[in-house]
Amino acid sequence: MKTNNSYTIPFITLLIICCNLWTSSSTFAQEFGTSDGDPTVEIDEALMAFKSTDFMQKFDAFRNRAEQAIGTYKADFQGNVSREDNLRVRKAYQKTAAEFNATLEQVKQDFLNKRKRKSIKKFPNSYAKSLETDMYHLRDVYERELHTAMTEVTDGQIDGSPLIELLVQLLGLTGTLTETLKGLAKRGKRYKAGYLDEHFVVPHSFKEWEAIDKGSGSGF
């Protein structure tokens, strides 16, 4: 006659297997970035290192001050200038924001691309140089679009010249990114698009025009 003991070992074995599967899936979620919006999932060390660089700090400083200036414009000028001038400033901001956000998106795509990651690991200086080229382009876009529109519509009362200096500083910081870029490239195969959107693209992107409150800053 069989006793209950005959089922004990298979049951324990099954329990151990289930625990191992749960642990493995949890590790997979953290390692491969399938966080699904869970705030308890830690940001990857290599990505955090990149987000913490002086380059990204300056990038965020530029974005914040540009958004603050729009808040000031909405509070102090939007109701006192023509519809055409308001539309001009709005379009200038949207064009500038779109270009900066597109640069973040391109960095994301580069680190999702196997061939690009391999190139970055081998030639990080070249990729840093390409970021410098991107910063020159963004500086030109800002000067041509938002800086010019805000200065002319407000008769110089909002002067965006200090932001040009921030962009110049960004240009000088691209060369300091080589080791951080190599680290990102090594980890890149573990990243998912949604993870990079959540932890890189979205947090550093410019807000939509409508999302900027009046008086949300003190200008440039």
Q: What's the DSSP call for residue 100?
A: H
* 25 within domain boundaries: no
Q: What is the pLDDT of residue 159?
A: 87
* 146 within domain boundaries: yes
Q: What is the pLDDT of residues 85-144, one digit of tens each?
A: 999 999 999 999 999 999 999 999 999 999 999 999 999 999 999 999 999 999 999 999
d(Cα 34, Cα 32) in Å, to the nearest integer?
6
* C-beta of residue 171 within 8 angstroms of C-beta of residue 135: yes
| Confidence bin at 215 (pLDDT 50/70/90) | confident
Q: What is the pLDDT of residues 22-62, one digit of tens each?
A: 444 444 444 445 444 443 345 789 999 999 999 999 999 99
Q: Specify the higher pLDDT residue, 7 or 197.
A: 197
Neighbours of 150 (CB within 10 A): 27
Q: What is the pLDDT of residue 39?
A: 38
Q: What is the pLDDT of residue 10?
A: 53
Q: What is the pLDDT of residue 52?
A: 96
Number of domains within the chain: 1
Q: What is the pLDDT of residue 43?
A: 72
| Confidence bin at 156 (pLDDT 50/70/90) | very high
Whether the predicted pLDDT of 2 surpasses 80: no
Q: Is 131 exposed, middle or buried (0-12, 13-18, 19+ CB in 10 A)?
A: buried
Q: Specify the higher pLDDT residue, 124 or 7.
A: 124
d(Cα 157, Cα 94) in Å, to the nearest integer?
21
Sorted by sequence, the CB contacts under 8 Å of residue 128 that are 6+ apart come out as: 174, 175, 177, 178, 181
d(Cα 189, Cα 157) in Å, to the nearest integer?
48
Owning domain of residue 190: 45-211
* 21 within domain boundaries: no
Q: What is the mean pLDDT of the chain?
A: 85
Helix 83-112, helix 54-76: angle, nearest 10: 160
Q: Supply the pTM of this predicted model.
A: 0.80
* 188 within domain boundaries: yes
Q: Nearest to residue 86, comparing CAs of 144, 154, 140? A: 154
Q: What's the DSSP call for residue 144?
A: I
* 114 within domain boundaries: yes
Whether the predicted pLDDT of 167 surpasses 50: yes
**Residue 64 dihedral angles phi and psi, to the nearest 5°:** -60, -45
Q: Nearest to residue 106, comparing CAs of 83, 74, 138, 78? A: 138
Q: What is the pLDDT of residue 97?
A: 98
Whether the predicted pLDDT of 3 surpasses 70: no
* 131 within domain boundaries: yes
- Three-state secondary-structure class, residue 4: helix
* 105 within domain boundaries: yes
* 100 within domain boundaries: yes
